């Protein structure tokens, strides 16, 4: 698979699939169970030998089974205790002593997990409808917006768990719900790209007879899906192009304050790693925000919040609610500028930043605060 952008999956090896008696214990008949074969090449390529992987939506333990076969350690978190029990039993039957299954909500469990080299998972799909109530169950969410918000929270919570340089590989499909095509895989990619560096994709092709569409709104026979490959590493922004942009911005908006790692880089400090964005504090003033957004758009920037594009007329209100928006510009040459505009950081407010700032080449900078939206 290393050199291919696709992976053809023809059949499941009978010795590794979920045993029938365990599948029958599940209220969905384990119809959302994946293939061990879909996971193995990713583990070989993206989890070092002796490394640790995590499946945050462990289900029936398919990823852990693959980890066992590839000689890696794995942790699986699964919300439904009955399913976690099935995964646990599957591991015991396989003698997979290095695999750990834990029941719970991944958003809450994340803080207690050890650092991992690879997060590898098949996400729960929107529109599947779980038979029992429960807010943490992603299958249960009533709207697509709520579903995407939960996906966002999961991958935010997982970021501290992934080792620097480690990978996050998410398998997801685009869906058809009722009459509607839902680009779920592409939306998930967008959400991932907010916190991780999207580095590649693979298309998984399943060669199998068409299955009857389940009695649900979601229509899919999972003939293909995407493996979205993201990495925890600093995004490579163009530091000089960002500087020219900040100079032009400061000429028009002299009171904006640059802070965080870009400010320290500008100051000539030796940094452990180069800045992956520019953090900017601005006054909490809707009229000024409107002008800023127009300015960025005129310079070819796109505006987003938590990875979702924002229409320019909506930016001031939406940014006000989040205290933040992101302006990013990718040029045809490959040069990237990413500017996070905040007017109320978790650590410092604009007035405090302004009073502590100093001028550096015509740009106001504040050197003490770390910076970055949460
Ligand atoms: C697509 S299934 C995973 C199946 C798994 N790849 C396998 O083949 O065994 C997604 C799983 O995510 C679980 N899940 C949903 N919300 C969760 C949450 N908040 N925390 C942990 N697991 C969750 C669901 O119960 C479901 O079992």
How confident is the chain (374 residues) per 10-residue block, as mean pLDDT?
Answer: 85 94 94 96 97 98 98 98 98 97 98 98 90 86 93 97 98 92 95 93 87 57 90 94 97 95 94 92 88 94 83 68 86 96 80 92 85 56
Give the pLDDT confidence score for residue 372 in this predicted structure.
59
C-alpha 31 – ligand 1 centre gap (Å): 12
User: For residue 175, what are the CA distances in angstroms to 59, 121, 153, 268, 304?
Assistant: 20, 18, 21, 49, 24
Q: Indicate if ligand 1 lies below 6 Å from the C-beta of 57.
A: yes
Give the pLDDT confidence score for residue 215 in this predicted structure.
47
What is the distance between the alpha carbons of residues 113 and 161, in angstroms, rounded to a whole number? 7
**Please, is 359 exposed, middle or buried when counting C-beta atoms within 10 Å of its C-beta (0-12, 13-18, 19+)?**
exposed
Residue with token string 């990619």: 189
- 36, 59, 123, 150: which to mutate for ligand 1, most atoms within 8 A of CB? 59
Q: Indicate if ligand 1 lies below 6 Å from the C-beta of 275.
A: no
Q: Indicate if ligand 1 lies below 6 Å from the C-beta of 62.
A: yes
pTM: 0.90
Q: Indicate if ligand 1 lies below 6 Å from the C-beta of 79.
A: yes
C-alpha 7 – ligand 1 centre gap (Å): 23
C-alpha 276 – ligand 1 centre gap (Å): 32
Q: Whose CA is nearest to atom 10 of ligand 1?
A: 124
In the sheet that holds 116-122, the strands lie side by side as: 6-9, 197-206, 224-231, 162-172, 116-122, 52-55, 73-78, 99-103
Which atom of ligand 1 approaches the CA of 55 most closely?
Answer: 6
What is the distance between the alpha carbons of residues 252 and 246, in angstroms, rounded to a whole number? 10
Which atom of ligand 1 approaches the CA of 60 most closely?
Answer: 9
> What is the rounded end-to-end Cα distance, in angstroms, of the chain?
36
The domains of the chain, with CATH numbers, are 6-231 (3.40.50.150), 239-365 (3.30.460)
């Amino acid at each position: 698979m290393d050199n291919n952008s696709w992976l053809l999956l023809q059949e499941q090896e009978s010795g590794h699939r979920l045993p029938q008696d365990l599948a029958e214990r599940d209220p969905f008949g384990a119809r959302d169970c994946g293939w061990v074969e879909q996971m193995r090449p990713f583990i070989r390529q993206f989890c070092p030998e002796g490394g640790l992987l995590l499946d945050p939506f462990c289900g029936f333990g398919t990823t852990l089974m693959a980890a066992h076969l590839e000689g890696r350690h794995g942790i699986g978190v699964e919300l439904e205790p009955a399913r976690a029990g099935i995964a646990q039993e599957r591991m015991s039957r396989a003698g997979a002593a290095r695999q750990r299954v834990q029941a719970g909500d991944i958003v809450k469990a994340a803080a207690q997990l050890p650092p991992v080299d690879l997060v590898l998972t098949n996400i729960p799909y929107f529109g599947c409808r779980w038979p029992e109530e429960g807010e943490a169950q992603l299958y249960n969410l009533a709207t697509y917006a709520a579903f995407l918000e939960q996906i966002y929270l999961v991958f935010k919570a997982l970021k501290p768990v992934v080792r620097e340089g480690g990978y996050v590989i998410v398998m997801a499909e685009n869906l058809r719900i009722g009459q509607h095509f839902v680009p779920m895989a592409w939306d998930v990619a967008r959400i991932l790209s907010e916190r991780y560096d999207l580095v590649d994709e693979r298309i998984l092709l399943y060669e199998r007879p068409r299955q009857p569409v389940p009695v649900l709104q979601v229509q899919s026979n999972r003939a293909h899906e995407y493996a979205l490959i993201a990495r925890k590493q600093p995004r490579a922004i163009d530091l000089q192009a960002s500087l020219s942009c900040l100079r032009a911005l400061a000429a028009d908006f002299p009171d904006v304050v640059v802070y965080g790692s870009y400010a320290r880089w500008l100051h000539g400090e030796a940094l452990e790693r180069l800045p992956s964005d520019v953090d900017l504090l601005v006054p909490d003033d809707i009229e000024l925000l409107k002008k800023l957004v127009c300015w960025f758009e005129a310079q070819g920037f796109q505006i987003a919040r938590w990875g979702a594009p924002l229409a320019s007329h909506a930016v001031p209100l939406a940014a006000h609610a989040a205290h933040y928006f992101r302006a990013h510009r990718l040029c045809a040459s490959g040069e990237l500028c990413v500017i996070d505009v905040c007017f109320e950081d978790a650590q410092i407010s604009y007035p405090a930043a302004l009073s502590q700032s100093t001028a550096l080449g015509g740009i106001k900078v504040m050197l003490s605060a770390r910076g970055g939206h949460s």
